[in-house]
Structure 1
Amino acid sequence: MKTKNIILLLLVGLFTTSCSKEFLDKEPFDKLVPNSYFTTEADLALFSNSFYQDFIPTGLSIVQADEMGDYTSKNNSPTFIAGNFSSVDQGSWNWTKLRNINYFLEKYNNPNISQEARNHYAGVARFFRAYFYYEMVKDFGDVPWYSKTLTTTDEDLYKPRDPRAMVMDSVLADLDFAVANIRPAKDNSASMITKWVALGLKSRICLFEGTFRKYHEDLKLKTTANQWLTASAAASEEIMKGSQYALYSTGNPSSDYRTLFTSENPVSAEIMWANVFNNSIKRWHEITWKFNSATYGARWGLNKQFVNTYLNIDGTRFTDKVNYDQILFVDEMKDRDPRLEQTVRSIGYKRSDGSAAPPNFGYTFTGYHIHKFSLDDKRLDGVAEGYNSITMMRYAEILLNYAEAKAELGPMDPEIWKQTIGALRTRAGINAQEPAVADQYLKTVYFPEISDKYLLEVRRERGIELVYEGLRYDDLLRWKKGKLLEMDWKGIYVPALDLEMDLDGNKTPDVCFVKTIPAKTTAGVVYYVVDGSAAKLSEGTKGHIIWRSDEEREFSDKKYYKPISNNDIVLNDNLVQNPGWK
């Protein structure tokens, strides 16, 4: 982000009231926005910067969103998956950010400002309104559509929810306006909303809505799914033909992928939109600390089932190997898709001081120790001073959106494969051959309802390429695959108890799995207790780590939507609770 933009964003503060009704009759920025405001383009720019402050998630929350994904182990599941979650716990039925947008759209249209400038900033506002409603529909399904500011006496304050189809049509109208009116100049800071980012959001939202309607037949909107998939493909294709972005590649597949996630300045060749962090102004995050702390973090790790989906470097399937599920960690990491060793600590990984850094079971439970967004400086393991910018949208996602929309619409042809999945695998450094047949591992473990070999590969590639970028849970929702959240948290293969194991190939032991910690221990070895309470081995004295085997995870159909809070239902008796919630 340009320094002036960072400073501007930091200077513009927002009130953060709750969803109580009393905020509705107050002007946003009532000390900054007298009646004579909105008289220059600078005024529009200043106010619209408040939308960024409102909507851009923290760096940590972007990656942390994937702890709701099926491929992540952690201390324990969120209560939404394993616990006593109810409508009493729900607090996201909140409309404050929307009022700020609608207020702007009612006040911005001053004829003394050029029409082009007014249209641009109205487009930015409508981009964020689409973003807001997309998140609300994901959470709740039907929601009331408000395109005006409300007062405490406004009857619409107590209106019932509007149908999903009507709300999403309005979202699409906002996106189309944004695409048509937001300025097209590429922003190399990757911090501002441009036409290309608006197209990217349209690509994402239309793919979500199209697949959600296709796989959630209870909505009775399946006949309209292809309209949304076609719109997603068209938006993606417009970005592709615009030639503003490309897959970042220096020709070094062993580092290019991870560079996207550890760079201070966003790699704007590929990254379209990012939450920008910066050492010089001390704008930092705590992601490295979270990934490398036994106490502060949730001790995230990937699960074996997902790691199995990474191909071999020659493009063949790892799961076609004989006894693929009983291969030692140091062997299963060899000759794999290079993105795997850039996502988890692997053979030969070292910190910035040159010290060996095998997977640390003090920080992860499964042995697949994530470091995709984690910086290599050990000092950052204990302080919130991470300075790498965190991507929110990049060109790789657009290619995946296009590939998936085309595969869903069918059929995918060799040219689409080459433009999308083939291009991603080529950048990654693996053979980009098309699949000969459908992958039985993916069908058996993940998607038994999918028979199309191309669609299976698109879903594989989406998981691998976008892991921990905050999109996996949304994918599970739209594919109606919430049941995957119930699967075991499976770790590396352990051939025997009391065996000291080398995980990084340097001939020194790193971990030993035991029933009890021995009286005599080896320096540098982590002793992992598998006593059957929270952790066990799948075959008793050997096998895969099964972490939190004591936890009952459950994803029933009602959980495809969140409940509306009891407080809001009491305040508005026209609201009807989502099915299955009390």
Structure 2
Amino acid sequence: MKIAFKIVAFIFVLGISAGCKKFIDRPPLTEFTDETAWDSEEKLRLYANQFYTGFFTGYGNAFNTDGAPLVSFTNSDDIVVQGNQINFTRSVPNSSPWNYETIRSLNIMLNRIDTRMSTILTPASKAHWTGVGRFFRAFRYSQLVQSFGDVPYYTREVFDTELDELFKPRTPRNEVMDAIYDDLKFAMQNVRVDDGAQNVNRYVVAGFASRIALSEGTWQKYYYKNDARAKKFLELAIEAADLVVASGKYDINSDYKSIFTSKDLTSNKECILFRKYDPAVGVTHAIASYSNLSESTLNGPTSDLLKSYILSTGKVWVPGTASASFDLTNMIATRDSRFEATFYSKPSALNRGAYYYITKYLPRDVEKRTQVDLLGLPAEFTGDKNETDAPVLRYAEVLLNWIEAKVELETLGGAVVIQGDIDKTINKLRNRPLAPEAVARGVVKTAELKLSDLPADPNRDPEVSALLWEVRRERRMEFAFEIFRLADLRRWSKLEYMDNTLNTDLISGGWVNFQTQLPGELKAANVGKIAVIKEDGSEVVYNGTNAAAMVGFYKNTANVGRLPFLNQGNINPYLTPVGISQMNFYASRGYKLQQTQGWPQN
């Protein structure tokens, strides 16, 4: 539905949304004008509805998967792609704008609440809606800052006649983040504890605040080397997460896979916020179709990810030990339970990237129907007809945000991390219920993490403490193929993990015994095309006569690593450059747009 506000959109710098994106349980905006839209709280709620699908993507809508898991975040050390690995930007593009239409819409909302609704809203309602607007504004600015660093900061509606404002210099990151901090603090104090099912409430705000604050705290610590600012935001991350935990409203009460494959997450206490899908009103998605075991895909898990899964004993993989064998059946029975819930139980040639098919988003009954009962794929798991609900904000994330911030703060003079901190976060996740199907495959709960007996991982980054290494491992297992991994590597200043010259495990996938598991792949057409990497790192290429030797981590011989992106002149993979056309556009109006840090300024 069109929003009839008559506001001029200004190219590149500012604009306003032309429509209301439909959220499943939110009615679309009717035709309001700026004169009639602010005379009731219900109309204000309808205006705010337009922001939900932009910020809370879930599994996307129909075939639009922008911002959705599995398919939108394929550039990380978790995913190998058949052929050329995805490259980082290596030169300033012709066009790379930032988008301020959401910021402008939110500033209009905040202005109208203050100037036109003082006699309409109660003081508490006014504080609530101001908090909602400031939360969304903080959310959007945090996205811009994490991408570009310094960005122009606006707290009011700017008109197309105000050229000095429209073309003003980029605001320093710290100044923008201080404003975000204030917006989040206000929202955490004023947004309603309960504003109805699936509406933004104080705990939704606090959950996302823990994410935003942890991100900034670690950016400041590792990238900008500013411990004082790191401490400020890490403390906010703990405060925000504490607010969620103290509510007692949330828990880890279901098996891992069901969180991502359920048609109704209403009763799942881990979901602080989820996106509802319902074909009856035309709201469906396509994420499960990308992992339906019936269609081929080029993306799969890297050997590096597979090696990172902890054993159910709480120990780590050590080469040459039988319990750590990478045979898929053995991994299911001996690794953390999230492994079984994430991958199909047999190597599959349909996954051309790794031969391990990612079924985290496919229900178990569909796996059984198609692979055991040999029945057809249900129509709802084809194309864009998927109906499963999408977790948007999980309690698991809040817990892991809290413990990571706690561990980081200890190095900055904060309280010492104790076993109780680990028990109520990491160990709570490890104690989540197991699905009966998982138990039948030999899956057991992973042993608790003990501060007195941290795993001795020979692959640990020596710059990272043993405890922090395990916290980061827990995030990697918990959020595999979701939306966090690349963002995590950036905020830890650890993009070297994605350098193929430093980590050769990034271009190989799952462990396969081709002769016994996929004999059909040992054919003339694959001579010279498929290879395996042994535990000692040696490579064996299939030559048509060495079938018995084809046991190891699968690698397509056409796989090519990323082009160099670290320590390269005028390349900064941590921050996004603005485009040449945007810089020229400023110059044509007599203004200068400074290029992003680390990129050429002309």
Normalising by the residue count of structure 1, what TM-score does the alignment of the two structures yield? Answer: 0.82
CA deviation vs aligned residue, 1:482-516 (integer Å, no higher than 9, x gap): 12222422223345xxx4323xxxxxxx4554362
Q: 1:185 aligns with which of 174, 194, 199?
A: 194
Asked if 1:430 corresponds to 2:446, the answer is yes
Q: 2:229 aligns with which of 224, 228, 237?
A: 224
Please state how far the C-alpha of 1:89 moved relative to its aligned partner: 5.6
CA deviation vs aligned residue, 1:381-424 (integer Å, no higher than 9, x gap): 53211111111211001110111011111232111011111111
Q: Distance in 1 between matches of 2:339 and 2:5?
A: 40
Please state how far the C-alpha of 1:62 moved relative to its aligned partner: 2.0
Q: Distance in 2 between matches of 1:330 and 1:53?
A: 39
What residue number does 1:457 align with? 470
- The 5 A counterparts of 1:50-61 are 50-57=50-57, 59=59, 60=65, 61=67
- Cα distance change, pair 477–34 in 1 and its aligned pair in 2 (3 A): same
Aligned with 1:342: secondary structure? helix
Please state how far the C-alpha of 1:277 moved relative to its aligned partner: 1.2
What residue number does 1:355 align with? none
Specify the code of the residue in structure 2 equivalent to 1:581.
W
Judge which range, 562-571 or 125-134, deviates more: 562-571
Specify the code of the residue in structure 1 equivalent to 2:147.
D
Please state how far the C-alpha of 1:211 moved relative to its aligned partner: 0.8
- Cα distance change, pair 102–213 in 1 and its aligned pair in 2 (3 A): same
Where structure 1 has 5 or more consecutive residues not aligned to the other structure, the ranges are 1-9, 250-255, 347-357, 503-509, 518-528
Asked if 1:500 corresponds to 2:508, the answer is no
Whether the 8 Å contact between 1:73 and 1:366 is mirrored in structure 2 is yes
- The 5 A counterparts of 1:162-173 are 162-173=171-182
Q: Distance in 2 between matches of 1:23 and 1:236?
A: 33
- The 5 A counterparts of 1:279-428 are 279-292=279-292, 298-319=297-318, 322=321, 327-346=326-345, 358-375=346-363, 377=366, 378-379=377-378, 380-410=380-410, 411-427=416-432
Please state how far the C-alpha of 1:13 moved relative to its aligned partner: 10
Q: 1:107 aligns with which of 109, 112, 124?
A: 112
What residue number does 2:562 align with? 552
Q: Distance in 1 between matches of 2:491 and 2:6?
A: 33
Aligned with 1:491: secondary structure? coil
Q: 1:491 aligns with which of 495, 500, 509?
A: 509
Q: Distance in 2 between matches of 1:362 and 1:138?
A: 36
Q: 2:131 aligns with which of 123, 126, 147?
A: 123
Q: Distance in 2 between matches of 1:11 and 1:287?
A: 28
Aligned with 2:203: secondary structure? helix
Aligned with 1:319: secondary structure? coil
Aligned with 1:540: secondary structure? strand
Asked if 1:240 corresponds to 2:245, the answer is yes
What residue number does 2:439 align with? none
- Cα distance change, pair 22–581 in 1 and its aligned pair in 2 (3 A): closer
- Cα distance change, pair 138–281 in 1 and its aligned pair in 2 (3 A): same
Whether the 8 Å contact between 1:87 and 1:565 is mirrored in structure 2 is yes
- Cα distance change, pair 248–531 in 1 and its aligned pair in 2 (3 A): same
Judge which range, 164-173 or 428-437, deviates more: 428-437
Aligned with 2:554: secondary structure? strand
CA RMSD of aligned residues (A): 3.1
- Cα distance change, pair 116–366 in 1 and its aligned pair in 2 (3 A): same
Q: Distance in 1 between matches of 2:555 and 2:312?
A: 28
Aligned with 1:391: secondary structure? strand
Please state how far the C-alpha of 1:291 moved relative to its aligned partner: 2.5
Whether the 8 Å contact between 1:40 and 1:112 is mirrored in structure 2 is no
- The 5 A counterparts of 1:144-223 are 144-154=152-162, 155-185=164-194, 189=197, 191-216=198-223, 219-223=224-228
Aligned with 1:246: secondary structure? coil
Judge which range, 259-268 or 22-31, deviates more: 22-31
What residue number does 1:62 align with? 68
Specify the code of the residue in structure 2 equivalent to 1:550.
V
What residue number does 1:571 align with? 585
What residue number does 1:539 align with? 539
Q: Distance in 2 between matches of 1:360 and 1:403?
A: 37
Aligned with 2:595: secondary structure? coil
What residue number does 1:269 align with? 269
Please state how far the C-alpha of 1:58 moved relative to its aligned partner: 5.5
Aligned with 1:544: secondary structure? strand
CA deviation vs aligned residue, 1:536-555 (integer Å, no higher than 9, x gap): 65522443223453233433
Please state how far the C-alpha of 1:230 moved relative to its aligned partner: 1.3
- Cα distance change, pair 293–160 in 1 and its aligned pair in 2 (3 A): farther
Q: Percent identity?
A: 26
Q: Distance in 2 between matches of 1:324 and 1:334?
A: 10
What residue number does 2:487 align with? 474
Please state how far the C-alpha of 1:364 moved relative to its aligned partner: 4.0
Please state how far the C-alpha of 1:286 moved relative to its aligned partner: 0.6
What residue number does 1:7 align with? none
Aligned with 1:66: secondary structure? coil
Whether the 8 Å contact between 2:343 and 2:360 is mirrored in structure 1 is yes
Whether the 8 Å contact between 1:127 and 1:175 is mirrored in structure 2 is yes
Q: Distance in 2 between matches of 1:282 and 1:28?
A: 17
Please state how far the C-alpha of 1:576 moved relative to its aligned partner: 1.1
- Cα distance change, pair 133–574 in 1 and its aligned pair in 2 (3 A): same
Q: Distance in 2 between matches of 1:294 and 1:485?
A: 30
Whether the 8 Å contact between 1:75 and 1:300 is mirrored in structure 2 is yes
Please state how far the C-alpha of 1:565 moved relative to its aligned partner: 1.6
Aligned with 1:73: secondary structure? strand
- Cα distance change, pair 575–279 in 1 and its aligned pair in 2 (3 A): same
When the two structures are aligned, how many residues end up with a matched partner? 524
Whether the 8 Å contact between 1:273 and 1:391 is mirrored in structure 2 is yes
Please state how far the C-alpha of 1:317 moved relative to its aligned partner: 2.5
Q: Distance in 1 between matches of 2:113 and 2:210?
A: 28
Judge which range, 458-467 or 106-115, deviates more: 106-115
Whether the 8 Å contact between 1:344 and 1:370 is mirrored in structure 2 is yes
Q: Distance in 1 between matches of 2:402 and 2:527?
A: 44
CA deviation vs aligned residue, 1:166-222 (integer Å, no higher than 9, x gap): 0001011111111111110275x5x32110010011111111111111111xx3523
Whether the 8 Å contact between 1:199 and 1:235 is mirrored in structure 2 is yes
What residue number does 1:525 align with? none
Whether the 8 Å contact between 1:212 and 1:478 is mirrored in structure 2 is yes
Specify the code of the residue in structure 1 equivalent to 2:156.
K
Asked if 1:516 corresponds to 2:507, the answer is no
Please state how far the C-alpha of 1:345 moved relative to its aligned partner: 0.7
Please state how far the C-alpha of 1:535 moved relative to its aligned partner: 6.0
What residue number does 1:506 align with? none
